[in-house]
Amino acid sequence: MGRLTGKVALITGAARGMGESHARCFIAEGAKVVLTDVSEQAGQALADELGGNALFLKHDVTCARSWAEVVAKAESVHGHINVLVNNAGILGPVANTLALSEADYLKVCNVNQHSVFLGMQAVLPSMLKAGIGSIVNISSIAGMAANYGFPNLAYVASKFAVRGMTKATAVEYGNRNIRVNSIHPGFIQTPMMVEATNESGGDALSLIPLGRIADPKEVSNLVLFLASDEASYITGSEYLVDAGMLAQ
């Protein structure tokens, strides 16, 4: 029996990068997984590879109607959702505050922050019906420490917001057997990181005590733990996966 046997999980931004890694991990541990993304071709190909317990749905995480449609379809296929991984996110432009346009600021916050609100709001009723739930919100080390290079004010603002939203929802729904935690990755080997730096992490290696970029599986292992019943007494907490960057 897998560590997530009997769980129905919804993972956003699941077509590539960390989301893909989380989906592979969850399937291997026995969950029924709904993978969502705007990248339809890649997402469907991954679901086909993962087999019958994987369902791909095209999904705009910034749209409340899209969330409602995804949750309804997921419930019709697999039943009540009891795990949500709010993984979808974007970096936005590298720009200081004076150069950051309002449009870019709002776009980053819409994807990184507002989608987390919409996701929790859409999935909580399903978890309440199930009588149990675990929400894992993927933030960033930029949600713990502000620093130009992550890569703009909007990114930092959105990731700090996810941290606070996580704690507020954890307090509100703890007595309903729903746990909410946030994960704050550092430099992870994903397409988004490569786009922002390069294959080796650019200048970031000099900032990392362990001296290397993480494999996405090293984040997925923590997501798996928090999603599982092994973390039954853990809620409202934040977890760094940063190889000691913020310990300095």
pLDDT digits (tens, 9 = 90+) for 97-115: 999 999 999 999 999 999 9
**pLDDT digit string, tens, across residues 195-245:** 665 555 567 788 899 999 999 999 999 999 999 999 999 999 999 999 999
- Mark whether 239 is an active-site residue: no
1 class by beta-carbon count within 10 Å (0-12 exposed, 13-18 middle, 19+ buried): exposed
Domains of the chain, start order: 8-247 (3.40.50.720)
Q: Report the alpha-carbon distance of residue 132 to residue 17 in Å, rounded.
A: 28
Element (H, E) at 226: helix 217-227
Contact 185, 138 (CB under 8 A): yes
Burial of 246 (0-12, 13-18, 19+ CB in 10 A): middle
Beta carbons within 8 Å of 110's beta carbon, 6+ residues apart: 62
pLDDT digit string, tens, across residues 179-190: 999 999 999 998
Confidence of residue 132 (pLDDT cuts 50, 70, 90): very high
> Taking Cα atoms as reference points, which of 219, 217, 224, 226 lies closest to residue 180?
226
pLDDT tens digits, one per residue of 1-53: 899 999 999 999 999 999 999 999 999 999 999 999 999 999 999 999 999 99
**The length of the chain, given as a count of residues:** 248
Residue 244, CB-side half-sphere exposure with 13 Å CA sphere:
9
pLDDT digits (tens, 9 = 90+) for 77-96: 999 999 999 999 999 998 99
Please report which residue ranges of 83-184 form alpha helices under DSSP H: 102-109, 115-130, 153-173
What does each C-alpha distance from 192 to 18, 21, 68, 209 come to in angstroms?
10, 14, 27, 22
**Rounded Cα–Cα distance for residues 35 and 175 (Å):** 28
Token pair recorded at residue 70: 């995804």
Of the residues 155, 173, 233, 239, only one is catalytic, namely: 155
